[in-house]
């Protein structure tokens, strides 16, 4: 059902998504949809959580290969994976990490980008020994917001992502974080 949801979101958008369309695409009875999900928001939330886990798994894999030697390499990989998911994961370009549906889809207390920034901070601390500080968390929240906005712009300008905008986004984030992160 989540795969069908991802396909439909790309085709008709979140507003056009219905549980009836989902049931038809997934080849299940409408009752089966409601057995697992009370409404379309819950379906999209499950898809968003799956995407976030996939994103974090992809990051872990890219960092495990040893090619990331310092914290910036880790941040660079995080941006690259986000771009790659926009290009290759059904539904991701439309939903991102759920902000289209609800900015608190991943966590009732924090907005979606703050959740992502927190997870990236956790990995930078564990993987690269970056000092865990309020300054780090704040800087990553700003960086995630900026990167998210610029990546969305790149994909509005070009369906595959405008490489010039993506390059500028990475340069901007690199410069900002170099000034604000203690490594």
Distance CA 74, CA 94 (A): 25
* Cβ neighbours around 105 below 10 Å, total: 22
Q: What is the pLDDT of residues 41-69, one digit of tens each?
A: 899 989 988 998 898 888 878 777 777 77
Res 7 pLDDT > 80 = yes
Query: Which carries the bigger pLDDT value, residue 34 or residue 63?
Result: 34
Contact 142, 121 (CB under 8 A): no
Asked if residues 122 and 137 have their Cβ atoms less than 8 Å apart, the reply is no
> What residues make up the domain containing 103?
48-180
Once rounded to an integer, what is the mean pLDDT over residues 1-11?
A: 94
Q: How many domains does the chain have?
A: 1
Give the model's pLDDT for residue 171.
94
107 versus 176: the higher-pLDDT residue is 176
Does a structural domain hold residue 57? yes
Q: What's the rounded Cα separation, in Å, for the pair 33 and 16? A: 17
**CATH number for the domain that contains residue 52:** 1.10.357.10
| Structure tokens belonging to residue 141 | 């929240």
| Domain annotation covers residue 85 | yes
Mean pLDDT on 118-138: 87
Residues with Cβ within 8 Å of 139's Cβ and at least 6 positions away in sequence, in order, are 176, 177, 180, 181
In a domain, 37, yes or no: no
Is 65 contained in some domain? yes
The pLDDT of residue 27 is above 70: yes
Q: Are 169 and 78 in contact (CB under 8 A)?
A: no
pTM above 0.85, yes or no: no
Does the structure show a pLDDT above 70 at 98?
no
């Amino acid at each position: 059902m989540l795969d069908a949801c991802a396909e439909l979101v790309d085709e008709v958008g979140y507003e056009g998504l219905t549980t009836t369309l989902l049931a038809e695409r997934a080849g299940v009875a409408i009752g089966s949809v409601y057995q697992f999900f009370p409404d379309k928001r819950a379906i999209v939330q499950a898809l968003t959580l799956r995407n976030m886990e996939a994103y974090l798994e992809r990051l872990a894999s890219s960092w495990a290969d040893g090619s990331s030697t310092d914290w910036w390499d880790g941040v660079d990989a995080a941006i690259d994976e986000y771009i790659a998911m926009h290009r290759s994961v059904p539904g991701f370009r439309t939903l991102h990490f759920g902000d289209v549906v609800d900015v608190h889809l991943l966590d009732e207390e924090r907005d979606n980008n703050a959740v992502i920034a927190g997870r990236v901070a956790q990995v930078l601390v564990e993987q690269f020994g970056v000092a865990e500080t309020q300054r780090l968390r704040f800087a990553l929240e700003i960086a995630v917001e900026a990167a998210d906005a610029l990546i969305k712009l790149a994909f509005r300008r070009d369906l595959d992502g405008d490489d010039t905008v993506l390059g500028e986004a990475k340069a901007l984030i690199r410069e900002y974080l170099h000034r604000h992160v203690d490594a």
